[in-house]
């Protein structure tokens, strides 16, 4: 189980693996489109970022090495991949073309076989001179970039950007349409997502460990070929192959949440091929696992405190009145979670699922990604607490897990764990080590600390060894890069954006003083115009630039 690193829509769409457990319509309002984009990335974030890191015991910042750039000369063994021609075709989405990109499954042994990656694009609409391709990634890991582009970015990005760039997306290896990693059946995932993340005794702890082992063993059985080759470094190398095949000398890219880690990794490997990179809601690649987990846990507490302050000012707040402190709101919510732990409630689910503590917790966390979701959360909590009807919170949780009405799950959770557990060593070496860390997590968040701590067990039992480690990324020689940080971001705390901007030798930090996850397209004309200017003219923001909501 991991808390993902980016955004997805609350259907009314961030970071790494965490819970063991994307017909045409009139263009929706821009604010809704951002929420779709935010929750799309959320799907990967909430589960993801919590198991990033290298140390199994350290609570502080590890001594991190620096990512080394690859040689500028293309290896002869990769010439066929870099020289391939994409066969663009219609793909059922009006205005879009789709193609399949071939990449080596193993870059160290290119002759050992290929992996096929799904690519989509919407060509520049004009007017104005075409500036090349703009590659987008919504985060995760595990979020479908193809789905994100077709459902949001190609409609929701500013028209002046869509006019000048071909909008392009590739599902990273192991994700969605790109040879997806698979672990459990839909029915098994239903059981997995209901696993109790606040074990009260040895028996419940054993059940949690067994659920995690069943998940990881399922990944090993069903996706053995892929599990050693879905790292972020490999995905970044795939992006360079795509860049070349598209005919672009430099990479222009917008990545959110985990997408910032992917983009920064590209910059570190290929600094001379960096064009215009926007890294929104940044990850800090130098952090060890436990430090990152605790930072993100504290980030969700910050978001909840903001929600609580807003909630008690509303007449429909089920967690307290005008004089209720945010801390008491948290205690009231925790008490409700304990009730669900003892007695799950009906949720009107066709498959018979009830709303227990774990699903309710994920439902609440889902709404922390964007304040636009707060009214829906208040309604869902009111219905659950007063009417014993858990349908609203269950729907929020299903959005997070990408569970369809037919009981099928997208491969988000499987890909999320696979990428995270390969990128960096596990946060904890054993359940006992995790238990010792519980007080620090509960201090970081009295509401979410315990479940978020227990949600980081996947990588402890992962069937393949990690190939990555925490590393600083400097990308010396790269063109100017823009890192965007939101001051009260729940999933990628602002300090991470500050750290990444300080590491990257050519980065400028753009600050959004506000709530929610990521900043571009959230309604701030200041943020949007600054990023648009950079993408269109290559002009980065001035040092210390800060924006707020309009």
Active site residues: 257, 489, 517
Check if the beta carbon of residue 394 is closer than 8 Å to that of residue 194. Answer: no
* 3-state secondary structure at position 516: coil
Closest among 495, 475, 478 to 486, alpha carbons compared: 495
Peptide bond into 189 cis (omega under 30): no
Q: In Å, what is the CA distance from 403 to each residue of 2, 330, 412?
A: 17, 28, 10
Peptide bond into 144 cis (omega under 30): no
Opening angle at CA 348, ends 345 and 354, nearest 5: 35
Check if the beta carbon of residue 501 is closer than 8 Å to that of residue 483. Answer: yes
Can you state the percent helix, strand and coil of the chain, rounding each to 5? 45, 15, 40
Joined together, the tokens standing for residue 505 give: 């030798």
Opening angle at CA 31, ends 26 and 35, nearest 5: 100
Peptide bond into 127 cis (omega under 30): yes
Q: Which residue do the tokens 């729907």 mark?
A: 395
Check if the beta carbon of residue 399 is closer than 8 Å to that of residue 11. Answer: yes
Q: Which residue do the tokens 């003083």 mark?
A: 513
The DSSP symbol for 409 reads B
- SS3 per-residue string spanning 216-283: HHHHHHHCCCCCCCCCHHHHHHHHHHHHHHHCCCCEEEEEECHHHHHHHHHHHHCHHHEEEEEEECCC
């Amino acid at each position: 189980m991991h808390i993902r690193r980016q955004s997805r829509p609350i259907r009314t769409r961030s970071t790494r693996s965490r819970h063991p457990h994307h017909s045409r319509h009139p263009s929706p309002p821009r604010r809704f489109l951002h929420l779709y984009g935010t929750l799309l990335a959320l799907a990967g974030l909430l589960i993801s970022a919590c198991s990033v890191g290298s140390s199994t015991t350290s609570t502080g910042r590890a001594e991190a090495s620096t990512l080394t750039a690859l040689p500028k000369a293309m290896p002869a063994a990769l010439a066929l991949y870099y020289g391939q021609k994409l066969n663009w075709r219609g793909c059922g989405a009006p205005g879009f073309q789709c193609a399949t990109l071939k990449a080596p499954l193993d870059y160290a042994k290119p002759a050992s076989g290929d992996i096929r990656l799904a690519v989509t694009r919407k060509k520049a609409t004009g007017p104005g001179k075409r500036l090349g391709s703009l590659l987008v990634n919504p985060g995760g890991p595990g979020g479908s970039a193809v789905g994100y582009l077709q459902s949001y970015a190609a409609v929701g990005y500013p028209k002046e950007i869509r006019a000048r760039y071909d909008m392009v997306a590739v599902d990273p290896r192991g994700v969605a349409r790109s040879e997806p990693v698979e672990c459990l059946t839909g029915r098994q995932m239903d059981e997995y997502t209901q696993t109790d993340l606040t074990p009260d005794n040895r028996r419940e702890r054993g059940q949690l460990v067994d659920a995690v082992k069943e998940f990881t063993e399922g990944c090993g059985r069903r996706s053995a070929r892929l599990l050693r080759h879905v790292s972020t470094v490999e995905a970044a190398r795939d992006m360079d192959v795509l860049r070349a095949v598209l005919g672009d000398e430099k990479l222009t890219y917008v990545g959110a949440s985990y997408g910032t880690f992917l983009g920064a990794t590209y910059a570190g490997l290929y600094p001379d091929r960096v064009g215009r990179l926007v890294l929104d809601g940044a990850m800090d690649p130098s952090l060890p696992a436990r430090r990152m987990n605790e930072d993100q846990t504290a980030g969700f507490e910050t978001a909840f405190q903001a929600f609580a302050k807003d909630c008690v000012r509303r007449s429909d707040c089920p967690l307290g009145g005008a004089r209720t402190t945010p801390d008491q709101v948290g205690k009231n919510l925790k008490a409700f979670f304990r009730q669900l732990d003892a007695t799950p409630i009906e949720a009107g689910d066709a498959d018979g699922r009830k709303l227990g503590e774990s699903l309710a917790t994920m439902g609440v966390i889902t709404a922390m990604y964007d304040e636009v979701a707060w009214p829906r959360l208040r309604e869902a909590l009111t219905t659950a607490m007063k009417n014993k009807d858990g349908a609203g919170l269950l729907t929020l949780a299903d959005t997070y897990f990408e569970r369809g009405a037919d009981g099928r799950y997208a491969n988000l959770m499987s890909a999320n764990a696979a990428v995270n557990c390969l990128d960096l060593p596990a946060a904890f070496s054993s359940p006992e080590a995790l238990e010792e860390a519980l007080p620090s997590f509960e201090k970081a968040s009295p509401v979410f600390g315990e479940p978020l701590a227990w949600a980081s067990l996947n990588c402890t039992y992962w069937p393949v060894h990690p190939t990555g480690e925490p590393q600083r990324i400097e990308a010396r020689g790269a063109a100017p890069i823009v890192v965007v940080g939101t001051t009260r971001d729940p999933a990628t705390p602002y300090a991470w954006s500050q750290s990444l901007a300080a590491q990257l030798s050519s980065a400028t930090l753009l600050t959004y003083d506000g709530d929610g996850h990521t900043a571009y397209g959230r309604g701030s004309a200041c943020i949007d115009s600054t990023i648009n200017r950079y993408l269109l003219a290559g002009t980065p923001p001035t040092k210390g630039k800060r924006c707020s909501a309009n």
